[in-house]
């Protein structure tokens, strides 16, 4: 029913999350111009992402889709996904990311997608876990199943932003525990987070998993900050 969606767009115009332009019926989240200029991670930094985890746990492979740069208007997209009750942005961005990654062979051999969990308290407050949506978007394209309850977060560490690098690492030690190790035992899993900065939270989760299970771990994050905070 084209005329109904046209009418809804007329009464409640949707706007590009990045530049604020009114979206046409074919556009979602981003106008074509902003979609075209999406700051995708370049090859040189793709190679660098894996090295963030070297020496911390046994990593198989790691990748990210776009840059998270201070002052970039594209941060609005990630902010709305995470805090603005628009987790569907994560789902759709992850689908685009998976489509562009499929040919590279990045997903070959991966048997399960595991989104980084939020603490129960944080999930109740926010109403959703954005990483679940990112995981589902990847799964939609790759067909790899999502496992949401094999690991849990015992406490929240959402106040990382104002901490120093050392404080960040101390703050996340031991915050994850395995709940259903049998689900992932012996598997190659893909661990999901929204934004990669120091990699402290992902590392903490990966260590908890590899202490309890014999797992290969790869990492996917929607965004990557290469000039680390």
- Among 78, 61, 92, 52, smallest CA distance to 198 is for 52
Nearest to 182 by CA among 215, 136, 145: 215
Of 34 and 172, which has the nearer Cβ to Zn ion?
A: 34
Residue with tokens 């799964």: 139
Binds Zn ion (CB under 5 A): choice among 1, 3, 31, 96 = 31
Structure tokens at 24: 């046409």
18 interacts with Zn ion by CB under 5 A: yes
- Residue placing its CB nearer to Zn ion in the complex, 9 or 21: 21
User: Which one, 78 or 118, has the nearer CB to Zn ion?
Assistant: 78
178 part of the interface to Zn ion, by CB under 5 A: no
**Alpha carbon distance 4, 54 (integer Å):** 53
Non-local CB neighbours of 226 within 8 Å, separated by 6+ positions = 45, 48, 67
**Segment interacting with Zn ion (CB under 5 A) among 33-41, 56-64, 132-140, 220-228:** 33-41
Beta carbon of residue 134, minimum distance to Zn ion (angstroms, whole number):
21
Q: Which of residues 137-176 bind Zn ion (CB under 5 A)?
A: none
Per CB under 5 A, which region of 28-36, 87-95, 117-125, 163-171 contacts Zn ion?
28-36
16 binds Zn ion (CB under 5 A): yes
Q: Is 34 in the site for Zn ion (CB under 5 A)?
A: yes
- Does the footprint of Zn ion cover residue 19 (CB under 5 A)? yes
Q: Which is nearer to Zn ion, 29 or 132 (CB)?
A: 29
The CA-atom distances, in angstroms, between 108 and each of 31, 51, 103, 112, 188 are 32, 20, 10, 11, 10
Nearest to Zn ion of 27, 111 (CB atom): 27
- Dist. CA 81–CA 88, nearest whole Å: 7
- 192 close to 220: Cβ distance less than 8 angstroms: yes
Q: Is 7 in the site for Zn ion (CB under 5 A)?
A: no
Which of 3/36 has CB closer to Zn ion? 36
Phi and psi at 167, nearest 5°, equal -65, -40
Residue 195 phi, psi (nearest 5): -125, 130
User: Does the footprint of Zn ion cover residue 78 (CB under 5 A)?
Assistant: no
In angstroms, what is the C-alpha Rg of the chain? Answer: 18
Per CB under 5 A, 89 contacts Zn ion? no
Candidates 17-25, 53-61, 125-133, 211-219 — which segment interacts with Zn ion by CB under 5 A?
Answer: 17-25
Give contact residues for Zn ion (rule: CB under 5 A).
Answer: 16, 18-19, 21, 31, 34
């Amino acid at each position: 029913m084209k005329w109904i969606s046209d009418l809804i767009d007329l009464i409640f115009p949707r706007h590009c999350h990045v530049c604020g332009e009114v979206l046409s019926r074919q556009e979602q989240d981003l106008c074509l111009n902003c979609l075209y200029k999406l700051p995708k991670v370049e090859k040189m930094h793709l190679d660098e992402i894996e090295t963030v985890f070297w020496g911390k746990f046994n990593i198989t492979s790691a990748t990210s889709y776009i840059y998270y740069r201070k002052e970039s208007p594209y941060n609005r997209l990630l902010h709305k996904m995470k805090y603005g009750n628009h987790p569907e942005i994560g789902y759709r961005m992850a689908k685009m990311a998976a489509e562009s990654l499929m040919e590279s062979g990045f997903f070959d051999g991966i048997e399960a997608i595991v989104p980084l969990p939020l603490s129960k308290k944080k999930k109740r407050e926010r109403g959703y876990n954005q990483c679940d949506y990112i995981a589902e978007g990847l799964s939609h394209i790759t067909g790899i199943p999502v496992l949401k309850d094999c690991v849990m977060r015992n406490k929240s560490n959402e106040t990382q932003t104002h901490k120093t690098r050392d404080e960040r690492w101390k703050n996340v030690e031991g915050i994850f525990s395995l709940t259903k190790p049998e689900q992932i035992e012996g598997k190659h899993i893909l661990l999901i987070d929204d934004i990669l900065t120091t990699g402290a939270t992902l590392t903490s989760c990966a260590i908890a998993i590899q202490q309890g299970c014999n797992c290969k771990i790869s990492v996917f994050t929607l965004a990557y900050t290469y000039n680390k905070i």
